[in-house]
Amino acid sequence: MFAIAIHGGAGTILRSEMSAEMENAYREALSDALQKGYAVLEANGSALDAVTAAIVSLEDNILFNAGKGSVFTNRGEHEMDASIMNGADGTAGAVAGVRQIRNPVLLAREVMEKSQHVFLCSEGAMEFARERGFATEPDAYFYSPFRYEQWQQVKDSDEYQMDHSAAKETKQDREKKFGTVGAVACDAYGNLAAGTSTGGMTNKKFGRVGDSPIIGAGTYANNQTCAISCTGHGELFIRAVAAYDVHALMDYKKLSLEEAMREVVLKKLPAIGGEGGMIGVDQQGNAYGIFNSDGMYRGFRSSDGREEIAIYGS
C-alpha cells in the first residue's frame, strides 16, 4: 500500500474563529497539494518525488508560511528554511536562512543530491543556489498583506510571533494565519520520505533557525521505521529531537507508529512546554497526524481508498 500525508501548520486553530470562506481556502489548498503528491505515488513514482511535489504546491500557495507568503523577519525580510530526507538510504538535504528562493524544498533536495553536504545556510546556501542555476524571485513575490500586518504589530519590539499563537491576535488575524508545511510518504516499493518547509517566526532576529530544516528535529525518514514532519514551537522540537525520537521509540522499544507519535507529542513535548504536532507514515502505509494544540491543517490519502482533509481537533 502507498500513502501520503501533509500538514500546513498547527496551533490556535478554532472552528469558532474560522470563516466559511477561509476554511474553504484551507481545504482547497490542502487538497491540491495532497492530490499532486498522491498522483506521483499512483504513477509508481518515489516517495521522495511525492513529498517534493506536495511541498512545492504548499510553498507556492500564499496562504502558508513557506515560500510565497512567508513571514517577515525583524529586518522586514523573508528568510526561509527547508529540509528533505530519503528513508531508503538515509540521505538528507537542508537549507536555512535563504532569501528569494521560490521553492526552498527544491534547494534542500539539490543539496542532498548534488552536493557533498547535508545542511547549507544563509549566503553559502545562496551561493550554492546560484552555482546550480536556481532562479530567484523578487521580494515582492513573497509579500502578503496579512503577513506584513502581522509584522507591524511587533516589529519595534523584542517579541516574536508564532504562526498560530493566540497572543495579541484579533479574530481577523487568526483567520488569516497559516503555518509551516510538510509531507511524508510511503511509495509502492515501501520506501519512505519526509520533508518540511517554513518561513519561521514573525520578527525573528539573529538568523534564528527553528526545527524545520534540522534533520532529526523537524524532519526524519528511515525505511525501517517511519517518516516524520513536524510543526510547532521549533525551539522545543529541537530540544526534544522530536522527529528522530519517534523513530527511536519504534526501533528500540518496538512501539507502533501511532504509539510513538503519541508518546512524543502528547507526553514528552508538553512536559517541556512544547506545542504543535507532526505527521507520520510507516512502511505499511499507516499514517497519522497527532497534535497537542487546538488544531492542525492536515490531509491524508492512501491506495486503499482512504482520504481525509482536516483542520480542527476533536
pLDDT tier at 146, thresholds 50, 70, 90:
confident
**Residue 86 belongs to domain with CATH number:** 3.60.20.30
- Sign of torsion over alpha carbons 16, 269, 86, 258: negative
Low-confidence winner among 36-50, 200-214, 279-293 (lowest mean pLDDT): 200-214
Q: How far is CA 280 from CA 243, 260, 270, 283, 291, in A?
A: 9, 10, 19, 10, 12
Q: What pLDDT, in 10s, does the model give residues 216-252?
A: 999 999 999 999 999 998 999 999 999 999 999 999 9
Residue range 269-285, pLDDT digits in tens = 999 999 999 999 999 99
Output the pLDDT for position 173: 41
- pTM (global) more than 0.85: yes
Please list the active-site residues: 180
How confident is the model at residue 158, as a pLDDT? 64
Q: pLDDT at position 159, please?
A: 60
Give the least confident one: 38-47, 147-156, 276-285: 147-156
- Of 48-62, 88-102, 150-164, 167-181, the range with the lowest mean pLDDT is 167-181
Task: Judge whether residue 151 has pLDDT over 80.
Answer: no
Three-class secondary structure of residue 239 per DSSP: helix
Residue 243: exposure state from Cβ atoms within 10 A (0-12, 13-18, ≥19): buried
Question: 22: domain range?
Answer: 3-312
The number of folded domains in the chain is 1
